[in-house]
Amino acid sequence: MACGASLVLLGLRGRAGFRGWRQPWPVWALGFGGIFAYHALYFFALKAAPAAEASLIAYLWPLLIVLLAARAGGEPLRGRQLTGALLGLAGTAFIMQQRASSQVGAMPVAGYLAAFGCALVWSGYSVLNRRFSSVPSSLIGGICGLVALAGLLCHLMFESPVQPDLKQWLAILSLGLGPVGLAFFAWDHATKHGNLATLGALSYLAPLISTLLLIVIGQSPASVWLLVPALLIIAGAVLATSGARSAQG
């Protein structure tokens, strides 16, 4: 969907609209490898391990971004950013624990390893993407197109074919044109031009917001226990951003 929308918007400008796609192969390789590998590992992890546990392990990537940004991104690691990321991780762990089922079985090592691979891939991609800050984010449309084709091939080769119904197609279109598609463009721009450590800490707001949305639409019960992770995540975000503001000042 993101690729299709990009083709339409860039096509309105003629050939000039696609000049941003003329990039050396390492730029394409990083974008394709990061986005495709992350999602492939994540979907496998959700199948091979309990969703709550796999999601929590995969959500180590914001903390890894905070740590990697100081070493590979050339940005100083401040105590407030690290503390903010740790508070966010604690809040996310609390949310995932509330979602976890009580079923006990053999330890799904393969699923856990895939989930940890997600965290490594996405954090590494996000930090390395900074090296291509001069590349326009419009390239993400082309990369998403390649990822979609690769995903389709993997689906046909390794999974049973699925035919979505009309409601599911509408959901896919809405997500692709809306939050999911826009998220790739926004994240590309943010990792190229924003403070990576602060971005990592702020990313822990995502599971909190998703949980609140589930409550609003009636898909998850409201609980006073949600206040605990909410306070942890919000406190972490405040700490991380206040550190960035003081540094800029």
C-beta of residue 42 within 8 angstroms of C-beta of residue 115: yes
Q: List the alpha helices (DSSP H) in the chain.
A: 2-11, 25-48, 51-58, 61-71, 79-99, 109-128, 139-158, 166-177, 179-193, 196-202, 205-216, 227-248
CB 96 within 8 Å of CB 52 = yes
Please give the pLDDT value at position 150. Answer: 94
pLDDT at 190: 94
Distance (Å, whole) CA 3 – CA 147: 10
In 3D space, the residue among 96, 90, 23 whose CA is nearest the CA of residue 63 turns out to be 90
Instruction: Check: CB of residue 155 under 8 Å from CB of residue 75.
Output: no
Distance of CA 225 to CAs 56, 210, 221, 230, 231, Å? 18, 16, 11, 9, 10
pLDDT at res. 6? 54
Mean pLDDT of 135-153: 90
Least confident of 30-34, 87-91, 99-103: 99-103
Written as six digits, the tokens of 156 are: 């046909």
Domain layout of the chain by residue ranges: 2-248
Give me the percent of the chain exceeding a pLDDT of 70.
81
Residue 52 has pLDDT above 90, yes or no: no
Res. 94: pLDDT tops 90? no
Quick one: pLDDT at residue 34? 96
Res 248: pLDDT? 42
Task: Label residue 123 by pLDDT band (50, 70, 90).
Answer: very high
Of residues 9 and 86, the one with the higher pLDDT is 86
Please count the helices (runs of H) and the strands (runs of E) in the chain.
12, 0
pLDDT for 65:
87
Residue type, 1: M
pTM equals 0.79
- Least confident residue range of 33-47, 105-119, 180-194: 105-119
Q: What are the tokens at 97?
A: 């624990």
pLDDT computed for residue 69 by the predictor? 80
d(CA 24, CA 52): 39
At residue 135 the predicted structure's pLDDT band, cuts being 50, 70 and 90, is very high
What is the reported pLDDT for 28? 94
**What is the rounded average pLDDT of the residues 153-174?**
86
Question: What pLDDT shows up at residue 73?
Answer: 53
